Amino acid sequence: QAGPTAPHCLGMSADDRRMLNAAGHDGCIKPGEDGEYFATVLKKLDVKEREVYGELQGRYSQDPVLPYTAKYLGTTTCDEGDHIRLRNLLAGFENPKVMDIKLGVRTFAESEPVNGKGRQDLYKRMVQLYPWALTEAEEKIGAVTKRRFMVARDDYTTIGSLGFRIDGVAGFSPERDEAVKEVLPTICSQQDVCYALRDLALGVAGSGNDEYDLVAASLITKSFTRQLYEMFAAMQESAFVADHEFVGSSALLVADST
């Protein structure tokens, strides 16, 4: 959750900003002004997102999925424009590690406007990640549209096969976070996902080189499993979930060594 620090948030460390930015939303979210670890975050205003949070606290205020969402605290305006204010899900953790998991079988709405402009940067990314998916026409012009890239990424990652994708990991060293960022687009199977979750748990527990670390990692994975099953059960009973399409939504896994 969050991007660059604002002038009034100088107490936030680079590590904090990196964790709040686990899924790559540079500039979208920033820390609030309250408390030593920032009890709230500010996210750039998206009207539809504000409407969803309003519905959750209005007609769906008793919905079983509500406890699994960030608490909405209204809107505010700062130098960078209008923002929604949310409870910081990392507050209360000590040196937490964060994994952002994108939910759904696609990561964009079919109703989103299609920009037909080809982009060379996304073409280079396609060449790096999914060269077999490129058409002769795309290779000739050396560009692909954003929609084309997003479709390919959904098709060739676990979004297409499992209905979710690990989109970000943060809270480790800058070097490790950057290395993981390069690996994430190559996760394409259930086994890959299991390895990534195992590495997260071991990273929270410690080095993984002694028996204590392995026991702690096992407890962390069991806790994640229990809470995910509870969230799944809540979503199955949820009128809010039944009434909405989820595109671009994430589950945030957060853990610390305590």
The CB-side HSE value for 62 (13 A sphere, CA atoms) comes to 0
Give me the helices (H) in the chain, please. 14-20, 47-57, 120-129, 136-141, 146-156, 158-162, 174-183, 190-205, 211-237, 239-243
Residues 158-186 have pLDDT tens digits of 998 899 999 999 888 888 888 888 888 88
pLDDT of residue 4: 27
Q: Of 116, 88, 107, 111, whose CA–CA distance to 19 is shortest?
A: 88
Q: Is 205 helix (H, G, I), strand (E, B) or coil?
A: helix
Give the pLDDT of residue 72.
92
Q: Is 38 exposed, middle or buried (0-12, 13-18, 19+ CB in 10 A)?
A: buried
Which residues in the chain show pLDDT less than 70?
A: 1-38, 111-114, 207-212
Structure tokens at 227: 């809470």
Here the tokens at position 12 are: 């936030």
Q: What pLDDT sits at residue 3? A: 28
**Full-prediction pTM beyond 0.75?**
yes
| CA distance linking residue 100 with residue 253, whole number of Å | 6
| Tokens representing residue 65 in the block | 């999925």
> What confidence score (pLDDT) does residue 193 get?
93
Q: How far is CA 73 from the centre of its chain?
A: 20
Amino acid in position 179: A
Q: Could you tell me the maximum CA-CA distance found in the chain, to the nearest angstrom? A: 55
pLDDT number for residue 203: 86
- The tens digit of pLDDT for each residue in 17-43 reads 555 555 444 555 565 655 544 688 888
Asked whether 169 and 177 are in contact (CB, 8 A), the reply is: yes
